[in-house]
Amino acid sequence: MAAGVESAPVRYRWYHKLLSFVVIVACLELGLFLTLFPWTRYWDDNFFSSFSEAWRHIWSNAYLRGAVSGLGLLNLYICFAEILRLGRFWSHPR
């Protein structure tokens, strides 16, 4: 930018705030589900584990459960990062 030229402040509308809230709620729910569900007894009672013996062996593998839980933790990280970014809506003039 040239010296002395100011850019116009970013104007956030109501739908920006609503979308941020929806992302926070969706990431929180998905993150909690993916983090906790692989370690419940319901994880083994599904179509994929009853499809064949080879699938059951893969599905009950702790590494797969850990990978799914890792995706859940990633979603929780995104959720909390978005919560910390909420201040951008109130630090700028309306």
pLDDT mean across residues, the chain: 87
Element containing residue 19 per DSSP (H, E): helix 14-36
Confidence band of 25 (pLDDT split at 50, 70, 90): very high
Whether pTM exceeds 0.85: no
pLDDT, tens digit, for every residue of 50-80? 788 888 888 889 999 999 999 999 999 999 9
Cβ(9)–Cβ(93) below 8 Å: yes
Q: Tokens standing for 38? A: 């692989």
Percent of the chain with pLDDT over 90: 48
pLDDT for 93 beyond 60: no
Please, is 20 exposed, middle or buried when counting C-beta atoms within 10 Å of its C-beta (0-12, 13-18, 19+)? middle
**What residues does each domain of the chain span?**
14-89
Radius of gyration, alpha carbons of the chain: 21
